[in-house]
Chain A
Amino acid sequence: MIPTLPSPDPVGVPAPIGLLTALLVALLPLHLIPMNVALGGGFVAAWASWRARRAAELERHRYRSLLASFTTALLVSTAATITFGIAPLLFLQVLYGPLYYTSSVLMAWFWLAVIALLMAGYYSYYAFAFHRRDASQRAVLALSGGLLLLIVGFLFTNNMTLMLHPERWREMYVASAHGLHLNTADATLGPRFLHFLTASFAVTGLFVALLAGRRTDDAGVWMRRLGARLFAGATHAQILIGLLFLYSLERPVRDLFLGSSVRDTVVLWTAVALALLATLIVRRRPTVAAALTVATIFGMSYVRHRVREALVAPVFSLDSLKVVPQYGPMAVFAVVLIAGIATLVWMSVRFVRAGPSKA
Chain B
Amino acid sequence: MNFPVWDPPMIGGGILIGIVAILHVFVSHFAVGGGLFLVLTERRAYAEDDRELLSYVRKHSLFFVLVTLVFGAVSGVGIWWTIGLVHPTATSTLIHVFVWAWAVEWVFFLVEIAAALFYYYGWERLDRRTHLIIGWIYASAAWLSLLVINGILTFMLTPGRWLVTRSFWDAYFNPTMLPSLVTRTAVAIALAGLYALLTAAVVEPKTLRPRVTRYAALWVLAGCAVLPLSGAWYISQIPPMAREISMGGAPAVTIFAGLSVVLSVLIVVVTYFGPYRRPQEASVLTVATIAVLGLAATGVTEWVREAVRKPYVIYGYMYSNALRLEQVADVRRTGLLAQAKWVTLRDPSDPDWRRVGYEIFRTECRSCHTIDGYNGMRLMVKGWREEFVDYQLQHLNELKGFMPPFVGSDAERRVLARWLANLGREEPFSEGLSIADSAASPRQEEAR
CB atoms of A112 and B85 under 8 A apart: yes
Interface string of B100-142 (1 = CB under 8 A from A): 1111101111110111011001101111001000100100010
Chain A nearest CB: distance from B225 CB in Å?
A: 32
Chain A nearest CB: distance from B57 CB in Å?
A: 16
Known: A7-B2, A344-B110. Is A14-B99 also a contact (CB below 8 A)? Answer: yes
CB atoms of B125 and A332 under 8 A apart: no
CB atoms of A6 and B100 under 8 A apart: no
Task: Give the distance in Å from the alpha carbon of A337 to the alpha carbon of B107 in the complex.
Answer: 6
Chain B residues whose CB sits within 8 angstroms of the CB of A357 once the complex forms: 121, 124-125
The A contact surface, by secondary structure, is: helix
CB atoms of B125 and A351 under 8 A apart: yes
Chain A residues whose CB sits within 8 angstroms of the CB of B362 once the complex forms: 177
CB atoms of B117 and A76 under 8 A apart: yes
Chain A nearest CB: distance from B125 CB in Å?
A: 5
Chain A residues whose CB sits within 8 angstroms of the CB of B409 once the complex forms: none
Task: Give the distance in Å from the alpha carbon of A23 to the alpha carbon of B7 in the complex.
Answer: 34
CB atoms of B4 and A173 under 8 A apart: yes
Task: Give the distance in Å from the alpha carbon of A174 to the alpha carbon of B70 in the complex.
Answer: 37
Task: Give the distance in Å from the alpha carbon of A115 to the alpha carbon of B130 in the complex.
Answer: 35
Interface presence of B88 (CB below 8 A): yes
Known: A9-B92, A112-B85, A340-B108. Is A87-B6 also a contact (CB below 8 A)? Answer: no
Chain A nearest CB: distance from B62 CB in Å?
A: 9
Contact of A354 among B88, B104, B127 (CB under 8 A): B127
* Chain A interface size, under 10 / 10 to 19 / 20 to 34 / 35 or more: 35 or more
Known: A9-B92, A115-B75, A357-B124. Is A332-B85 also a contact (CB below 8 A)? Answer: no
Known: A79-B73, A83-B73, A90-B103. Is A2-B126 also a contact (CB below 8 A)? Answer: no
Interface presence of A252 (CB below 8 A): no
User: Which stretch (B207-215, B235-243, B432-440) binds chain A?
Assistant: B432-440
Task: Give the distance in Å from the alpha carbon of A72 to the alpha carbon of B122 in the complex.
Answer: 13
Known: A14-B96, A174-B440. Is A79-B6 also a contact (CB below 8 A)? Answer: no
Interface centre among A1, A84, A101, A354 (most CB of B within 10 A): A101
Interface presence of A315 (CB below 8 A): no
Contact of B96 among A5, A11, A336 (CB under 8 A): A11
Enumerate 23 A-B pairs (CB-CB under 8 Å) in ascending A order: A1-B448, A2-B346, A6-B2, A14-B97, A75-B117, A82-B73, A82-B77, A85-B77, A97-B92, A109-B8, A115-B74, A118-B74, A122-B70, A177-B5, A179-B7, A329-B104, A333-B107, A343-B137, A344-B111, A347-B137, A351-B121, A357-B124, A358-B125
Using CB atoms and an 8 Å cutoff, list the residues of chain A in contact with chain B. 1-7, 9-15, 72, 75-76, 79, 82-87, 90-91, 93-94, 97-98, 101-102, 104-106, 108-109, 111-112, 114-115, 118-119, 122-123, 126, 169-170, 173-179, 324, 326, 328-330, 332-333, 336-337, 339-340, 343-344, 347-348, 350-351, 354-359
- 7 additional A-B residue pairs with CB within 8 Å, beyond A347-B114, A358-B125: A9-B92, A14-B168, A75-B117, A105-B4, A174-B439, A343-B141, A356-B125
